[in-house]
Amino acid sequence: MHPSTTADAPGPYGPPATVSTPRPGPGRDAESPLDIPSRGWWRIGQRVIGRYLDENLRLVAAGVAFYSLLGLFPAIAALVTTYDLAFDAAQIRGQLGLLAQTADLMH
């Protein structure tokens, strides 16, 4: 276990971090996950759920999904525009025909 220490110099993002000694409990001195008793796993689960609720992960996940979907359509438009600049219309028609044939073979 790590002893309780305080960093001497301030960190790049604020005051120095404090590392505290973990409280004693079931499984704290386990060498592998198989050595942790069921009470220890129960406490681990409680801490995970507590951190999940404290850090608003649902809100962050919703924001990531929203902005990913919002950025998808401009990305597709940029891809189509770039593709149009790189190839002429006859090549595009031929490649779309091959893509359609491949899609028909998959069904």
Residue 107: per-residue pLDDT: 73
Tokens of 52: 């999940």
- Residues forming beta bridges with residue 14, ordered by sequence position: 11
The answer for residues whose C-beta is within 8 angstroms of residue 3's C-beta and 6 or more apart is 21
> How do residues 52-103 score in pLDDT, each as one tens digit?
888 888 898 999 999 999 999 999 999 989 988 988 888 888 988 998 998 8
- With b for 16 or more beta-carbon neighbours within 10 A and e for fewer, the 78-102 pattern comes to eeeeeeeeeeeeeeeeeeeeeeeee
Q: Is 40 exposed, middle or buried (0-12, 13-18, 19+ CB in 10 A)?
A: middle
Q: With CA atoms as reference, report the closest residue to 28 among 8, 47, 9.
A: 47
Average pLDDT, the chain: 82
